[in-house]
Amino acid sequence: MKRYWKIFLALIIICALPILFLYSGIYNISAMEPHNKLTFWIINTLKDNSIEHRAKNIKAPNLIDSSLIKLGFVHYREMCVGCHGAPGISRDEIGQGLYPEPPDLAKSVKEIPPPQLFWIIKNGIKMTGMPAFGRTHSDDRIWAIVAFMKQLPSMTKEQYETLNNSTKNQDDE
């Protein structure tokens, strides 16, 4: 019977410690202070596996259609460039203040499959500053953004500027 009391007491302590930690305020939640390595690993592992799991049955349309890429550019310029930057364009003040830091998509998008990009843009990512555009954009418009983003890694500053100039007066359909 003594053994059961020890196990019971151990379980109470194991349950109480996380609660005490949560209510203590000891963890610095400031966006100015990076996560420790364990917290960063847990969050990124959870994020990566969650996105991969939820995007595995999404089928991408043809993403090389120039009109789709151009429409995606217009949306990217209006909604994404401030946080993620673009060829020749740095993040704005909001993008610089976010933690975790938004990825430079011109560099990181190569490694992300289109269905995962679609899922991220549509659903957002909690506690990262990445909003869910699925509430305001149709799937077709989100795929257009994905189509443009897949062009970013090979795009020069001059190509981006040319596309920007050719779409400045274009109305968003």
The encoded tokens of residue 126 equal: 């909690």
- Pairwise CA distance, residues 69 & 63, whole Å: 7
Q: Tell me which CATH code domain 34-167 carries.
A: 1.10.760.10
Whether residue 169 has pLDDT greater than 80:
no
For residue 167, CA distances in Å to 71, 86, 121 come to 9, 16, 22
- pLDDT value, residue 170: 59
Beta bridge partners of 89: 86
Q: What is the DSSP string of 83-147?
A: HH-BTTB---HHHHH-SSPPP-HHHHGGGS-HHHHHHHHHH-BTTTTB--GGGTS-HHHHHHHHH
Q: Which of 50, 39, 68, 60 is nearest to 130 (CA)?
A: 50
Whether residue 51 has pLDDT greater than 70:
yes
- Pairwise CA distance, residues 81 & 93, whole Å: 11
Average pLDDT (44-72) is 97
Whether residue 163 has pLDDT greater than 60:
yes
Q: Which of 151, 143, 103 is nearest to 119 (CA)?
A: 143
Whether residue 3 has pLDDT greater than 90:
no
Average pLDDT (108-122) is 97
For residue 39, CA distances in Å to 28, 36, 44, 96, 157 come to 12, 5, 9, 21, 36
- Pairwise CA distance, residues 125 & 90, whole Å: 22
- pLDDT value, residue 4: 87
Output the average pLDDT for the chain.
94
Whether residue 158 has pLDDT greater than 90:
yes
